[in-house]
Amino acid sequence: MNQRPTAMIVAPPGLLREGLRAALNALCRLEIVGEADTAARAVAMAHDPALVLLSVQGPENDGPVAIRAIKSRWPAARCVVLVESVAQQQAARAAGADQALIKGIRPAKLLRLIEGLLDEKQPTGCEGHCANLRDRDRGHASPRVAP
């Protein structure tokens, strides 16, 4: 039996975090092992996630610091960052984010990008409807966003 890849959500409590949790729960191959409102709290947790989904809040753009802390603690983790501007997107990529996406991305596209990152890292099968979703979306897969 394959162990499911794990994910951590780093976002303030509220509607955004709940939406991210719901989106990740749609991927039956992922197990959410932690949630934190800051990267500092996330890296203090004992988990070793395959994926960290980070939301950068506000204009102060602490995203690069958070990304470097996450990558330092979990070098193999895929880091997907949701940002509010192109400048934050560029800073996140420069800091080592595997994906830096402008908030407002459609959930289906976000999930396809995450699936692609997980497939690059650790190909694992997913039974039932998840396999059907991947097969259905193969013809519509988004290319990896270039830095």
pLDDT for 2:
59
Cα dihedral across residues 49, 38, 147, 86: positive or negative: positive
pLDDT for 113:
93
pLDDT score of 7 more than 90: yes
pTM of the model: 0.77
pLDDT for 83:
94
Sole residue written with tokens 């990558």: 71
Cα dihedral across residues 67, 68, 69, 74: positive or negative: positive
pLDDT for 137:
42
pLDDT score of 142 more than 50: no
pLDDT score of 126 more than 60: no
Report how far residue 83's alpha carbon sits from residue 55's, in angstroms, rounded to the nearest whole number. Answer: 6
The residues facing 81 across adjacent strands are 54, 100
pLDDT tens per residue across span 10-45: 999 999 999 999 989 888 788 999 999 888 888 888
> Which of 3-7, 88-92, 109-113 has the lowest average pLDDT?
3-7
Could you tell me the fold of the domain covering 6-140?
Rossmann fold (3.40.50)
pLDDT tens per residue across span 47-90: 889 999 999 876 555 789 889 989 998 999 999 999 999 999 99
- Fill in the amino acid letter for 28: C
pLDDT for 86:
93
